[in-house]
Amino acid sequence: MNQDNIFQKIINKKIKSELIYQDQYVTAFKDLFPKAPIHILVVPNILITSLDEINQKNKKILMYMYYAAIKITRMVKINISGYRLIMNCNPDSGQEIQHIHLHILGGQYLGPILSKI
């Protein structure tokens, strides 16, 4: 049986989320465990489990995700103060949900992207 992941349930409104934006390609909602004052996730409406599944046929979804994210930063007014867009891929990145998602983080100074190794 094909079990929907948590983001598919949010997209299909089977479970609640704080929806920010939806169009024919992507859905955006607030992260349940925010890591910054503004923390929004942009996900494709179709299931792509990992960035490593991006190919010639589905690559345009990345453009739709990034363009939606940029529009959302204007909607929530962090476009001038600044923000960070992050996508995790596979275990070393700590990707938790197997449905690609773009994190929009902002609302305060975010510090360095990573600490030094």
State the residues that interact with ligand 5GP by CB under 6 A.
6, 17, 29-33, 41, 88, 94-97
Give the shortest CB-59-to-ligand 5GP separation in angstroms. 20
Give the shortest CB-35-to-ligand 5GP separation in angstroms. 7
Q: How far is CA 41 from CA 1, 2, 76, 116, in A?
A: 27, 23, 13, 26
Give the shortest CB-88-to-ligand 5GP separation in angstroms. 4
CB nearer ligand 5GP, residue 14 or residue 56: 14
- For tokens 């024919």, what's the residue? 24
CB nearer ligand 5GP, residue 56 or residue 90: 90
CB nearer ligand 5GP, residue 29 or residue 83: 29
- Annotated active-site residue in 39, 99, 101, 103: 101
State the Cα–Cα distance between residues 72 and 75, nearest whole angstrom. 5
Give, in degrees to the nearest 5, the angle at Cα 65 between 59 and 68.
Answer: 145
Residue type, 113: I
State the Cα–Cα distance between residues 19 and 46, nearest whole angstrom. 17
Active-site positions read 101
